[in-house]
Amino acid sequence: MLVTDLIRRKRDGAELQRDEIAFLVDSYTRDAIPDYQMSAWLMAVVLRGMSRAELAALTESMLNSGEVLSFSELPAPKVDKHSTGGVGDKTSLVIAPIVASAGLYVPMISGRGLGHTGGTLDKLESIPGFSVNLSVADFRRVLAQCGTGLIGQTKEIAPADKKIYALRDVTGTVESPYLICASIMSKKLAEGIDALVLDVKTGSGAFMKAEKDAVFLAELMVETGQRLGKRIAALITDMDQPLGRAVGNALEVAECVDILNGQGPADLRELCLVLSAWMFLLGKRVQGIDQGRELAEQMISSGKAREKFREMIRLQGGNPAVVDDPGLLPRAAQTADIKSPASGFVTGFMCEQIGTAGVLLGGGRARKEDSVDPAVGIMVHKKVGDRVTAGEPLCTIHYNSAERLQQAQPLIVQSYRIESAMALQKRALVHRIIGDQS
């Protein structure tokens, strides 16, 4: 098979066969196809889309590129949650300990920052010593011992997604519902889970900006999960402004600790409770969402979720003392406030720009080989609906390079919409639910 032929046919809108897609995925995973050819093919998919048969072939080739785990020996249901990506979207770090502390298993395979969005793995790696690169044997051990483990795609599990994800991050090939569906579902289906809750973001900080596109993506993923026998629900949630107040790896870990301590921003806490409740429901730990929410609240107020987070950090080689003293997390050398140019109300954000500013500060990657700066980021003080006076800080930038600050600052300033009156209604956090509502 000629790769150039497969690229040209996809470019021209033809439907590829199952064996052709399997050949591409397999060859790229084995380093037999160079990055430039795979990037060209991915771009053709972004522009042309895929048929359902092509999507199934892509997802299954990516899933079977590595080991498909089974945890049938574990005595309780295995459940996970995955987000399609947002700005300040850090719920995994809170939810995994909440759900595991109530007796379900949460084997979580996550990703790094992608495009303008942050990634769970980069956030976890800001905890000194924390390893997301566990072998399958170590992942099993951590999961059995503590009820949750958070790792990345490896050479053993979802290796095709590991390579394709890193390539998409830096080639403008993220925003395709087909590529997002295959990426997420290949990882999640390799985890040996019984049920999955998807957090599908919509709004100016999401990959799917329009709600109808988010719904389409949610339907693709729910369909894929159900075909492979999983209980699955997708919540379409708001990403029109950063979630919580922290954007940036170590800053976000500190904010997660606040939530586990029963504090922190209300929107982040609320989304963590709702997603945990759905995990409890699909994991058959509770009979209804309200009961699930109460259970999640109890896991926080009793301190059990915080203890679980500490245990997970310790078992994965990190310094658990960050839970008691977030000051042990990396800190940027400098900070700069962005002041409001006018008095009035914050009525909106161009939220993607806040994420891009975080990448420019060094919190994400411009090239595959780049490492991230765990300390940099943005603390958002004013959000939609907040009143501001001219000169008051809208947010604080944490930075380590004046040059990077100069690139990021204008994006943040332009991102804020400030108007004299607050005409607008606040958007709901959860817009709708698709899939298993049992």
**Which residues are catalytic, by number?**
82, 161, 168, 183, 187
Is 84 an interacting residue with respect to ligand URA (CB under 6 A)?
yes
Which x/- pattern over 95-114 shows residues binding ligand URA (rule: CB under 6 A)?
A: ----------------x--x
Q: Which is nearer to ligand URA, 46 or 100 (CB)?
A: 46
Considering only residues 175 to 194 of the shown chain, the ones binding ligand URA according to CB under 6 A are 179-180, 183-184
**Shortest distance in whole angstroms from residue 13 CB to ligand URA:** 22
Structural tokens at position 207: 């990959």
Check if the beta carbon of residue 312 is closer than 8 Å to that of residue 146: yes
- Measure the CA–CA gap between 25 and 61, rounded to whole angstroms: 6
* 148-152/106-110 β-pairing: parallel
**Shortest distance in whole angstroms from residue 165 CB to ligand URA:** 6
- Measure the CA–CA gap between 211 and 220, rounded to whole angstroms: 14
**Shortest distance in whole angstroms from residue 135 CB to ligand URA:** 21
- Measure the CA–CA gap between 171 and 212, rounded to whole angstroms: 25
> Taking each helix axis from N to C terminus, what angle separates 52-63 and 159-169, rounded to the nearest 10 degrees?
120
* Given 77, 85, 118, 374, the residue binding ligand URA (CB under 6 A): 85
Q: Which is nearer to ligand URA, 184 or 296 (CB)?
A: 184
Q: Which is nearer to ligand URA, 84 or 148 (CB)?
A: 84
With CB atoms as reference, the residue minimizing the distance to ligand URA is 183
Q: Which is nearer to ligand URA, 157 or 180 (CB)?
A: 180
**Shortest distance in whole angstroms from residue 118 CB to ligand URA:** 11
**Shortest distance in whole angstroms from residue 358 CB to ligand URA:** 16
Check if the beta carbon of residue 62 is closer than 8 Å to that of residue 182: yes
| Residue 265 three-state SS | coil
Structural tokens at position 196: 């999955």
**What's the sign of the alpha-carbon dihedral 263, 264, 266, 269?**
negative
Q: What residues have CB less than 8 Å from 163, skipping those under 6 apart?
A: 28, 29
Cα angle 194, 89, 218 (rounded to 5 degrees) comes to 50
Q: Which is nearer to ligand URA, 82 or 404 (CB)?
A: 82
Total site size for ligand URA, rule CB under 6 A: 8
Q: Which residues bind ligand URA (CB under 6 A)?
A: 84-85, 111, 114, 179-180, 183-184
